[in-house]
Copies of this chain bind each other. A is one copy, B any other.
Amino acid sequence: MPTQPIHRHTRGVYIIAATPFTATGEVDDASTDRLVDFYLEHGVDGITILGIMGEANKLTEAEACAFASRVLRRVDGRVPVIVGVSGAGIDNLRRLAVFAMENGAAGVMVAPTPGPAVEDRIRHYFHQVCEALGPGVPVCLQDFPQVTGVPISAATILALTRECPEIVMLKHEDCPGLGKLSAVRAGSGTVETPRLSILCGNGGLYLPQELARGADGAMTGFAYPEMLVEVVARHAAGEIDRAEDIFDAYLPILRYEQQPGYGLAVRKAILHHRGVIADPRTRAPGPKLGPLDQAELLRLMARTDINVKELNHGS
């Protein structure tokens, strides 16, 4: 069952889903179903799959399609699902996007391809992508220069917002990026430039500040989605301080998860310890936790539980 496509006013928490693997390295269907249920039970407004966190570049096209199908069937239209389709070639990107949309996705996410960071190249690339996808496929532009190596200025994001009607959403995860977020927020939804939904990544590391600056929500894979959901909700309800108190209770483990290139292993370990996925492994070559890391993580998880109890007790 398809849902409404993502659009320029989409709000809330779009959780970035991990891709669970079995002990023999196959995509784990049962864990996938449990993961979807877990996210939905914790109140997310949408799910984004096959992003960087989803290890999309280590899946074959067949695996990616099968995973997308399974998630979309399990979600069954309850929330919108965005499918990451970034890749080296536009033909592959288009084929996966078409598959996703035909199976009920609400939109696709695209990051710029590697290469010189000249902005006319980036702009040209998104024009090519949008032309290849055609008018029916809403696009979330992923701005994650720490991983892509390709920074994009606010001016270029706004130019693309004007030029490509398919681009309706920004996954904002430049860092430092608060000034850019304010610039995109101020520059879109004007007479010249259509509004852009802005959901924030980077594990949520600056979420209270981002919401205060006009972000529409979060799109990230923090392994305690309940925090993201509650912070966004409280903030929307005007309970700014309370939202930030909740955020702060989770911040020690959030900042621990937010270790570039390594955090994915932490996230999967937490999801595993919380009983959601059967095996925390990432596909090789990928990060993994040793015994010392495990003990460190379990200590942080225990401290998080205490923080959250105190928070609820105190409220």
Contacts and interface: CB of A to CB of B under 8 A. Distances in A.
A248 B252 contact: yes
B125 A91 contact: no
Contact of A262 (B88, B151, B176): B176
Contact of A260 (B61, B176, B283): B176
A256 B210 CA distance: 12
B206 A256 contact: yes
A89 B125 CA distance: 25
A153 B91 contact: no
Contacts of A120: 153-155
B293 A178 contact: yes
Interface residues on A, range: 35 or more
Contacts of A115: 261, 285
A296 interface: yes
Contacts of A182: 292
A256 B91 contact: no
**Chain A interface helix/strand/loop/mixed:** helix
A134 interface: no
B90 A284 contact: yes
B89 A58 contact: yes
A152 interface: yes
A205 B252 CA distance: 9
A28 interface: no
Contact of A251 (B128, B251, B283, B290): B251
A154 B182 CA distance: 27
A259 to B, nearest CB: 4
Interface string A115-158: 11111110011001000100000000000010000011111100
Contacts of A179: 290, 293
A44 to B, nearest CB: 24
A226 interface: no
A55 B151 CA distance: 24
24 contacts: A57-B88, A58-B88, A58-B89, A58-B92, A61-B62, A90-B284, A117-B151, A118-B119, A119-B153, A119-B155, A121-B153, A128-B284, A128-B285, A132-B284, A175-B259, A175-B260, A178-B293, A179-B293, A182-B292, A213-B292, A244-B252, A248-B307, A251-B252, A251-B255
Interface of A: 25, 55, 57-62, 88-92, 113, 115-121, 124-125, 128, 132, 145, 151-156, 175-176, 178-179, 182, 205-206, 209, 212-213, 244, 248, 251-252, 255-256, 259-263, 283-285, 290, 292-293, 296, 303, 307
